[in-house]
Structure 1
Amino acid sequence: MADEEGGTGTHEALPNGADTTPQIGLISQYVKDLSFENPNAPAVYQWQEQPQIDVQFNIGATPVADDVHEVVLKIDIKAQGANGVAFLAELAYAGLFGMRNVPVEQVQPFLLAEAPRLVFPFARRVLADAIRDGGFPPLLLEPIDFGALYMQQAEAAQAQQGDGETVGHA
């Protein structure tokens, strides 16, 4: 068997049938950071009105090794009522993704749209359990169309860069 790291480093040296097919795999997923605050316990359990729930999302991607990226889905939740804050929950849920032979123009769309879609159900469960364990009904977040969000942000960034220039569409 040939040593992949040895040799000339040229792709021509690869044997016929070498694997050049794009491949992506989820290596691992994990809670990177989790915080739940119940600042008004035990009085909060006597409040009658439903709190307003504010949910904020942030997605980040960082290369951690050759062909391996960490994607972090950060979700911040604040439940605020007339009497004060019912609870605060913050979660940074991460996934390690291995990527090989992926066209460079497809890397960012995968990392910022598809990867968060894959880890979201697990992050949603972690938050629902944490909120339930805090003495509240579990909060089941609605599914999010990360692809549409990515496209909106990409179009906004393109429009901002264009700043009056005509930009072609692919």
Structure 2
Amino acid sequence: MSEENAQSQANQPQFAIQRIYLKDLSFESPNSPAVFSKAWQPEVGLEINTKTRSVGDDLYEVVLTLTVTVKSDGDSAFLIEAQQAGLFLIKGLEGGQMQHTLGAFCPNILFPYARETVDSLANRGGFPALGLAPVNFDALFAEQMQKQQAGEKAEQQH
């Protein structure tokens, strides 16, 4: 391989999953066993958050937090909070590309793991699996960027 080819490959963006792991997990069922004697009519609330931090040379930790609140017949059935994390090697990306990778691409990779954890934990708590619907992290990221830009414009006007 020529030196020129080696140099051009070194400048190419690189992305690799180093590890996917469960960082934190919580389950609460405050009204059990009474909740099991009522008709199961679940009202599911889902809150999604992500956090990103640099942990070394080109290594980034992304933590996807799912908070699932389920009520049935007006009573709290259970609450699950799962922090699914990943360690990613990312080289050669800057600015908007890096923000998109950390804010949308990585959470997209982590979500199926978090969804499986939530389903499994609901089952272990005596409840049916939730089968959370897929999430469009690209759309959530775009919405967040629009809000951030609108906030910056508002600050500039004051």
For residues 1-170 of structure 1, what are the structure 2 equivalents within 5 Å? Answer: 15-16=3-4, 17-18=6-7, 19-82=10-73, 84-163=75-154
TM-score normalized by structure 1? 0.83
Extract structure 1 runs of 4+ deviating beyond 3 A.
Answer: none
Number of aligned positions between the proteins: 152
- Would you tell me which structure has more helix in proportion to its own residues? 2
TM-superposition CA deviations, 1:41-91 (whole Å, max 9, x none):
211111114131111000110111110000000000111234521111000
Output one character per residue of 1:10-30: Cα deviation in whole Å (capped at 9) or x when no partner.
Answer: xxxxx5322110001111001
Residue identity matched to 1:20? N
> Could you list the runs of 5+ residues in structure 2 that have no partner in the other structure?
none
Root-mean-square deviation (CA, aligned residues, Å) is 1.7
Percent identity over the alignment?
A: 36
For the residue of structure 1 that corresponds to 2:115, the secondary structure is helix
Deviations 1:117-141 (A, max 9, x none): 0111111001100001110000111
Aligned partners of 2:39 and 2:73 also within 8 Å: no
Name stretches of at least 5 consecutive residues in structure 1 with no aligned partner. 1-14, 166-170
Q: Is the 8 A contact 2:48 2:66 kept in 1?
A: yes
Partners in 2 of 1:136 and 1:144 — Cα distance?
Answer: 22
**CA–CA separation in structure 1 for the residues paired with 2:121 and 2:36:** 16
